[in-house]
Amino acid sequence: MIGEELFQGGRVLDHRKLDFRNPAFGVGSLSYSRAVNAIAVTWLAMWRGMGGDISNMPVPIQIRPRIPEQPRE
């Protein structure tokens, strides 16, 4: 998808036209965010697996999706 958005009309899109509303920016932002989170999770798993000290680490909060309320009739 990034390739489709960056190459339009057989040319590379001008960087000034690439902003936060552009799909290429969104895909790149999500990819970057997921990569950073994956690295952090990997390091934490390795740290725990090797018996690293996590005694002062707060208990993670599980986040669950909110189910929107259905309109009442």
| Mean pLDDT (whole number) for 8-22 | 74
pLDDT-derived band of residue 73, with 50, 70 and 90 as boundaries? low
Could you tell me which residue, 5 or 32, shows the higher pLDDT? 32
Q: Return d(Cα 25, Cα 33) in angstroms, integer.
A: 12
- 17-55 burial string, b = 16+ CB within 10 Å, else e? eeeeeeebeeebeeeeeeeeeeeeeeeeeeeeeeeeeee
pTM for this model (two decimals): 0.51
pLDDT at 18 over 80: no
Could you tell me which residue, 31 or 36, shows the higher pLDDT? 36
pLDDT-derived band of residue 1, with 50, 70 and 90 as boundaries? low
Q: Which residues contact 12 (CB under 8 A, 6 or more apart)?
A: 6
What confidence score (pLDDT) does residue 15 get? 72
Q: Where are the alpha helices (DSSP H) in 1-73?
A: 2-6, 23-49
